Amino acid sequence: MSHLVRLLGGGEHSGAFVGGARAAGLVLAALITVALIAKSRRIGDLGALGWSLLAFVVFGPVIWPWYETWGFVFLAVVAEAWTLRIVLAFSALACFADVPGARFFGTNDPVLLVICWSCLVGVVCVYAARRLLPSLARGPALPERSPPLRAGAD
């Protein structure tokens, strides 16, 4: 938004936009938390706490990979069915949110970095598809077999 204002001749106001966006995000997270507290009898206290912690992480001014783990801790306790699958998938992805770059491994070779990330993303996608979409893991349905004939049944 600040780029648009600068292009229209409004000057350099990116600091004001960043501050406003941070304040709006915190207000939105607070409103979500109030709504979750109001519905906590229906969704449970731990579920409301987990979702509100995640709301403050997502809409907060800074996101570090370990911030969302606190919300996942409470949601993992109460999650059922599809919610449990989503919590598990995001927990697994959060482990790789802040991995070191290629320089950490003593190389500046971008090809090695692309190969490693491609392998990692491929494994995560295959696993997620098999776990989140169980019908893919089962394959096509087989036709039912007729019961075996017993000798002397005539």
pLDDT at 26 over 80: yes
Section 68-93 average pLDDT: 80
What's the pTM value of the predicted model, to 2 decimals?
Answer: 0.56
pLDDT at 102 over 60: no
pLDDT tens per residue, range 1-24: 566 666 766 666 667 777 888 889
Section 77-94 average pLDDT: 78
Q: What share of the chain is helix, strand, coil (3-state, %, to 5)?
A: 70, 0, 30
pLDDT band of residue 52 (cuts 50, 70, 90) is very high
The total of other beta-carbon atoms located within 10 Å of residue 154's CB is: 5
Section 47-54 average pLDDT: 90
What is the rounded (10 degree) CA torsion for 130, 133, 136, 138?
A: 80
Query: Mean pLDDT in the chain?
Result: 77
Section 54-67 average pLDDT: 83
Nearest to 99 by CA among 117, 124, 123, 126: 117
Owner of token pair 């697994």: 92
pLDDT band of residue 28 (cuts 50, 70, 90) is very high
What is the rounded (10 degree) CA torsion for 88, 76, 95, 86?
A: 30
pLDDT tens per residue, range 119-150: 888 888 888 777 777 665 555 555 666 666 66
pLDDT band of residue 75 (cuts 50, 70, 90) is confident
**CB of 75 within 8 A of CB of 50?**
yes
